[in-house]
Structure 1
Amino acid sequence: MIRFVLFSIFLCLNTLLVTAQTVQQRLDSLFQSLNQDGEFSGAFLVADGGKVVFEKYIGFENPAKTKKINSNSRFELASVSKQFTAMAVMQLEEQGKLSYEDDITKYFPHIKFKNVRIKNLLRHTSGIPEFLAWDQQWIDKKKINTNQDFLKIIETKIDSTSFKPGDQYTYSNTNYLLLALIVEKVSGQSFASYMQQHIFKPAGMKNTSVFSARSSNADLKNYAKGMAYDAKTKSFKSVDDFPAFSYLTYFDGGSGPYGISSTAQDLFKWNQAIQNNTLLTRQNFMKAISVDTLNNGKSIKMAGLYYGFGWLFTDSTNSESKMHFHSGGYPGYKTINIRDFKEQKYFIALMNKWNTVDVYPLTSAVNAILQKRKAPVIEREKLTGAIILVEFQIKQLLGTYEYTKQPELKFKITADDNGSLFAQLSGQSAIEVYPKNELELFYTAVQAELKFSKENDQITALTLYQNGQELKFNKVK
């Protein structure tokens, strides 16, 4: 869920030109090649014509490597959860119990701002600030907060939206928290109960639930724990062992934008349920993958892709055959679900390790194999060890840095009592960074580096290197 520079992808699962056996062999070779060091971890499923043609389970559910990932292994879906939340809203709309044009003050009369409609929440055009980037003093860090806790903060702390609803597209997980709460208000059920009764059970998804992994009564059997690479110990650890990810605990009661756990096989059943109109009529589902516009008439897009109701797509037509998908990223997890109505082609990837492979190049390679083309080479992320800086070297890096072209965009470099360094970009959570040398830090959460400039023995600036871009920030204090 932490948002860094995104890039566009193009995916088209149109024709299968090879036999099932050839597909299986090539796909198996692809995934085996990614696991040469034994650290690749996840569940993967490819379907064609509505039938599974390839499944692969690699790695382990836990850092100790005592439980192998299998067909029953459940993963946090991260933002892939949004398509389920949107489905619940669409079901209630189909039943006439709500309208996409409803002002959300109809459901939350204590919210101070107006003119945000349900359709704005679905397409991220509301202007409601991202709750993962709220002032940390607003949040009770001593407990696992729920959607109701977040709603109270919205009602008491947020006076207005950051722009007029419908003027811009700005991805905000807060939108889907509110949608989950609307489902509860309209249905009279808890979000978890509604999803179980009206979506998971009808779709035959026996291993899927709205799930808080850190709650005291959480059943962690068959649960694939999220892991990340620790550059200090040069090993993968549970994300809960990283101070930078402490927010995972006090945000763990949230649901709607994330908070659903599932298996690869259950996601296959989900895709079939959509295909067979089990949960919603085809006509109404098509609204989820239809193009809509901002107030200025421009199409609503995310990184060059059209954004619907919890789905992304590249085709602006109303064709049923167009591919649609959503990916997810949450500390320790990378996920994607891609589907095509006409060919009934699906690709599902659920990974419980950061710092291995991104879902987009993996998707491109799978697509190439399905089309009997040469698959692009996928480079595993480099796992680099960190050095130890002494106290004066750490202190010289600390401070606030402003982006030269946009002064309101700031980087803050801080350190804890153990000398661990953290970088925080405006509107995002602090993430631990590791020293390559006294003037270079690297991330393990994303592929990015920070390089510091020094003049007359004083640090004057830092430059962020990510996805081929360089952004310079001048030190201001």
Structure 2
Amino acid sequence: MKEHLITFLFFLFALTVKAQDKTARIDSLFQSLNTDGELSGAFMVIDSGKIVYEEYFGYEDVNKKNKINELSRFELASVSKQFTAMAIMQLEEKGKLSFEDEINNYFPNLKFKGVKIKNLLRNTSGIPEFLGWDASWFDKTKINTNKDALQIIENRIDTLLFTPGDNYMYSNTNWLLLALVVEKVSGAPFANYMEKFIFKPAKMKNTSVFSARTPQANLNNYATGLAYDAKSKSFTSVDDFPSYNYVKYFDGMYGPYGISSTAQDLLKWNEALHQHTLVKKENFAKAITVDSLNDGRPIQMSEGLYYGFGWIFTDSLLNDDKMQFHTGGYPGYHSIIIREGKHQRYFIALINKSNTINVYPLTSAIDKILRNQEVPKIERETLSEAIVLMEFQVKQLLGIYEYDKHPELEFEITADDNGNISAKLSGQSAIPIFPKSELELFYTAVKAELKFSKENDQVNAVTLYQNGQELKFNKVK
């Protein structure tokens, strides 16, 4: 008996040492990414159902007065989509709607037909991305809501980009409409529904549908979104960037984003999913099961990445024991949650500085550590410094540039009265770019560069360098 006890105690000691080794390696990774003290966010790693790493870096505010802690709330950006999907799944489970319902049943003033709730959930609707709409369609003097967006859809969107179900196209507009469906069916405001049927049952006390810019907003423990200004060589609130002005007048929208939460609450969310607290196991499985387009092809974001109900997954098999994740990106914020059921592994990263770290290599490094594998070196994104261009140098860059292989894909280069330059790709919002030379400019919101070229001393083209690809756009006006 004594020998069995010694063996058991040794086994426990071995497990403890192994866990400590993982914790030390993860901590070493994060310390290497924070040598300049500019890493800012909440990070949590769970292995075998237990927390092996939980750490908070940086500050909630631009003045560095309030340190990020376990109560700090972050805008989840697109991680919010899985919560919106859960509300739809709950209503479907209760028989109050069907995934096959056409949304015209809920919004009869729409000018197009054939879009079903399942098309919204899987981004196969063909409804254009609202973040790429003409800004003049919105009232920029107020905080717009989902109902404002619905009016624009009803009045301005006559046709779809493709027949519903024919293709996959990520569109945040789908999720605005899903949130409105929740309100229509439940008879309650989206925020109230989420609190009563999702956040409260999951014991998520510090999570809410949240608009930071409304007069009544409680900003205690709220991590402000920050971005790097290459001109001032410092981080500042995204509200100070003219090109990010839309975050102010879009701040009343919810469904695709608009939920704030903490790392600890997201751990409770994972537990609620694991225990099937919110919907039955077989119904949640639908969220992470591959579905097909009209021609039988699987619905994929890209090769090997499948899109479910607010979740992305890599395994096409029909089971619920697979890796599921979603990232979130919005001016000032990056986030990811990733869960894997077999080993009860879960990783949460909530970041309130846009330009510090890419969550994908970070997640890969964490995964390597948990699997006791060698971790490739990862580095923080370089915070480049900008130069100041003369007025005539700025003006020569401005204009419309077309991609010769797909003329409908355009770059529009603009500048404000202070010479701040922005680049807008078709269907996307304008993003600030900064000059490092007369013809070379870089992004800080994403890892990409633009290089302009001249012919007969006139700028005639621009090439986008991103993710190892080069796309050349010719100037047309």
Do both proteins adopt the same fold according to a TM-score greater than 0.5, normalized to the shorter chain?
yes
Matched pairs, number: 462
Instruction: Deviation per CA, 1:307-332: give whole Å up to 9, x if none.
Output: 00000101111223211111110011
Query: 2:285 matched to which residue of 1?
Result: 286
Amino acid at match of 1:310: G
Instruction: Deviation per CA, 1:41-63: give whole Å up to 9, x if none.
Output: 11011112222221011111111
Query: 2:114 matched to which residue of 1?
Result: 115
Query: 2:10 matched to which residue of 1?
Result: none
Cα distance between partner residues in 1 of 2:18 and 2:92: 42
Instruction: Deviation per CA, 1:284-319: give whole Å up to 9, x if none.
Output: 000000000000100000022010000010111122
Alignment of 1:167-206 (within 5 A): 167-206=166-205
Contact 1:232 1:386 (8 Å CA) reproduced: yes
Contact 1:74 1:261 (8 Å CA) reproduced: yes
Helix, strand or coil at the partner of 1:93: helix
Contact 2:289 2:319 (8 Å CA) reproduced: no
Cα displacement (A) at 1:17: 11
Query: 2:143 matched to which residue of 1?
Result: 144
Query: 2:216 matched to which residue of 1?
Result: 217
Alignment of 1:254-265 (within 5 A): 254-265=253-264
Query: 1:230 matched to which residue of 2?
Result: 229
Cα distance between partner residues in 1 of 2:365 and 2:184: 43
Which of 1 and 2 has greater Rg? Answer: 2
Query: 2:9 matched to which residue of 1?
Result: none
Normalising by the residue count of structure 1, what TM-score does the alignment of the two structures yield?
A: 0.96
Cα distance between partner residues in 2 of 1:365 and 1:157: 45
Query: 1:368 matched to which residue of 2?
Result: 368
Contact 1:463 1:470 (8 Å CA) reproduced: yes
Query: 1:395 matched to which residue of 2?
Result: 395
Q: Greater relative contact order: 1 or 2 (C-alpha under 8 angstroms, separation 6 or more)?
A: 1
Query: 2:47 matched to which residue of 1?
Result: 48
Query: 2:157 matched to which residue of 1?
Result: 158
Query: 1:414 matched to which residue of 2?
Result: 414
Cα displacement (A) at 1:391: 1.2
Query: 1:38 matched to which residue of 2?
Result: 37
Contact 2:440 2:450 (8 Å CA) reproduced: yes
Cα distance between partner residues in 1 of 2:380 and 2:471: 25
Distance 1:123 1:142, change over 3 A: same
Cα displacement (A) at 1:456: 1.8
Query: 2:385 matched to which residue of 1?
Result: 385
Identity over aligned residues, as a percent? 68
Cα distance between partner residues in 2 of 1:118 and 1:320: 22
Distance 1:450 1:197, change over 3 A: same
Amino acid at match of 1:382: T
Amino acid at match of 1:360: Y
Query: 1:74 matched to which residue of 2?
Result: 73
Cα distance between partner residues in 2 of 1:152 and 1:407: 30
Contact 1:85 1:180 (8 Å CA) reproduced: yes
Cα distance between partner residues in 2 of 1:214 and 1:459: 40
Distance 1:138 1:370, change over 3 A: same
Amino acid at match of 1:136: A
Instruction: Deviation per CA, 1:92-134: give whole Å up to 9, x if none.
Output: 0000000000000111111111110000000000000101111
Helix, strand or coil at the partner of 1:437: coil
Cα distance between partner residues in 1 of 2:17 and 2:271: 23
Cα distance between partner residues in 2 of 1:465 and 1:440: 11
Amino acid at match of 1:37: D
Query: 1:439 matched to which residue of 2?
Result: 439
| More moved, 44-53 vs 27-36 | 44-53
Distance 1:18 1:401, change over 3 A: farther
Cα displacement (A) at 1:238: 0.7
Cα distance between partner residues in 1 of 2:55 and 2:25: 12
Cα displacement (A) at 1:245: 0.3
| More moved, 404-413 vs 227-236 | 404-413
Query: 1:464 matched to which residue of 2?
Result: 464
Cα displacement (A) at 1:18: 7.0
Cα distance between partner residues in 2 of 1:385 and 1:354: 16
Cα distance between partner residues in 1 of 2:51 and 2:280: 24
Query: 1:276 matched to which residue of 2?
Result: 275
Contact 1:18 1:370 (8 Å CA) reproduced: no
Q: CA RMSD in A?
A: 1.1
Cα distance between partner residues in 2 of 1:320 and 1:161: 33
Helix, strand or coil at the partner of 1:206: coil
Cα distance between partner residues in 1 of 2:405 and 2:194: 45
Structure 2 gap ranges (5+): 1-14
Cα distance between partner residues in 2 of 1:319 and 1:431: 40
Contact 1:267 1:348 (8 Å CA) reproduced: yes
Query: 2:82 matched to which residue of 1?
Result: 83
Runs of 4+ aligned residues of structure 1 deviating over 3 Å after TM superposition are: none
Query: 1:3 matched to which residue of 2?
Result: none
Query: 1:324 matched to which residue of 2?
Result: 324
Distance 1:125 1:17, change over 3 A: farther
Are positions 1:429 and 2:391 aligned together? no
Instruction: Deviation per CA, 1:377-398: give whole Å up to 9, x if none.
Output: 1121111111111111111111
Contact 2:433 2:443 (8 Å CA) reproduced: yes
| More moved, 65-74 vs 447-456 | 447-456
Cα displacement (A) at 1:368: 0.7
Contact 2:288 2:320 (8 Å CA) reproduced: no
Normalising by the residue count of structure 2, what TM-score does the alignment of the two structures yield?
A: 0.96
Instruction: Deviation per CA, 1:133-176: give whole Å up to 9, x if none.
Output: 11111111010000111111111111121110000000000001
Query: 2:342 matched to which residue of 1?
Result: 342
Helix, strand or coil at the partner of 2:396: helix
Query: 1:11 matched to which residue of 2?
Result: none
Structure 1 gap ranges (5+): 1-15
Contact 1:133 1:428 (8 Å CA) reproduced: yes
Cα displacement (A) at 1:341: 2.2
